[in-house]
């Protein structure tokens, strides 16, 4: 398979789950891969650098090219080191897949400041910092007359699209990633860079506790709709040269199903042509809501 032959891809959080599946899929498609993983537990504690190296060993054993990187992607210098690893090891960078993250789930009424900060940091800043250093490289390449054909694939979730009870910090960070991706797509286009986002549904460490029944593996001969490997084909394609005209879009991916998510769009409106009086809005707002599409329920809401 040569869809990504000659390309160099960074995948963050690639020691397990979705990131590991993406790294292996890029390698199988011919890309050289920087396998990044800080190696933390599900709550972001106890770093262990062995996870990334295990995936590298698997790729190399299969005849591919890969190097490990254990940087904290939400650390400014760590993100710079990550991009530098790709350039030092392989001489270029073509694809950045932002995937790393962890959870600190709690209802908002009891969520601590530290739990909020930690989750927003790893997901939102952990997307921005690698993107910022990657685009600095691509911008320099473009200005030097070597226009990139580069890709960024960011990872949001259904929680970012629709919300999830008990995951206010995670939902907010993942929603932020969606808008960050749209802005980046508009700003990076001049440098030959596309930016898209995915909202995957798959069985990983982060989902198995929340959706235990849904995420259970099927029988031996049945299609495993929740396998992380189902998400990776779209990620690899978005990272390829074939996807040059796709940017600023969001895709839900679950099993064999790919859905384009339209995002926030203006619905019904009423323009008085002057300032409203609050007393008038008791009929106006219900009328607008009656003409609008119903809101999708928040995950976990009764």
User: Using an 8 Å Cβ cutoff, are 96 and 126 in contact?
Assistant: no
- Provide φ and ψ at 35, rounded to 5°: -95, 105
Residues designated catalytic:
157, 170, 174
User: Using an 8 Å Cβ cutoff, are 127 and 182 in contact?
Assistant: no
CA atoms within 13 A on the CB side of 300: 15
Q: What is the three-state SS of 279-298?
A: HHHHHHHHHHHHHCCCCCCC
Structure tokens at 47: 């770093």
User: Using an 8 Å Cβ cutoff, are 37 and 14 in contact?
Assistant: yes
First to last CA, the chain: 46
Strand residue runs (E) in 166-262: 193-201, 250-254, 257-261
Neighbours of 111 (CB within 10 A): 17
User: Using an 8 Å Cβ cutoff, are 14 and 36 in contact?
Assistant: yes
Which DSSP symbol is given to 164?
B
Task: Assign 3-state DSSP to the chain and report helix, strand, coil percentages, each to 5.
Answer: 45, 15, 40
Structure tokens at 19: 């990131």
């Amino acid at each position: 398979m040569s869809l990504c032959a000659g390309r160099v891809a960074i995948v963050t959080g690639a020691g397990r789950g979705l990131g590991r599946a993406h790294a292996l899929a890029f390698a199988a498609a011919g890309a050289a891969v920087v396998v990044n993983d800080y190696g933390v537990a599900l709550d972001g504690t106890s770093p262990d650098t062995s996870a990334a190296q295990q995936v590298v060993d698997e790729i190399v054993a299969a005849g591919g090219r890969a190097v490990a990187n254990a940087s904290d992607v939400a650390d400014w210098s760590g993100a710079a080191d990550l991009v530098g690893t790709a350039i030092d090891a392989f001489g270029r960078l073509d694809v950045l897949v932002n995937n790393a993250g962890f959870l600190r789930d709690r209802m908002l009424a009891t969520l601590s400041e530290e739990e909020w900060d930690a989750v927003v940091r790893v997901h939102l800043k952990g997307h921005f910092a690698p993107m910022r250093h990657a685009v600095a490289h691509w911008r320099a390449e473009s200005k030097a007359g070597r226009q990139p054909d580069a890709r960024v694939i960011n990872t949001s979730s259904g929680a970012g699209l629709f919300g999830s009870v008990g995951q206010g910090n995670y939902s907010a960070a993942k929603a932020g990633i969606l808008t960050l991706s749209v802005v980046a797509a508009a700003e990076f286009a001049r440098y030959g860079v596309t930016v898209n986002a995915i909202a995957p549904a798959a069985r990983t460490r982060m989902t198995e506790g929340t959706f235990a029944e849904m995420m259970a593996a099927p029988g031996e001969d049945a299609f495993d709709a929740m396998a992380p490997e189902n998400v990776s084909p779209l990620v690899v394609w978005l990272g390829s040269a074939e996807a040059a005209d796709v940017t600023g879009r969001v895709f839900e991916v679950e099993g064999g199903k790919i859905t384009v998510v339209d995002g926030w769009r203006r619905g019904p409106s009423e323009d008085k042509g002057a300032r409203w009086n609050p007393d008038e809005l008791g009929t106006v707002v219900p009328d607008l809501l009656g003409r609008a599409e119903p809101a999708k329920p928040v995950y976990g809401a009764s």
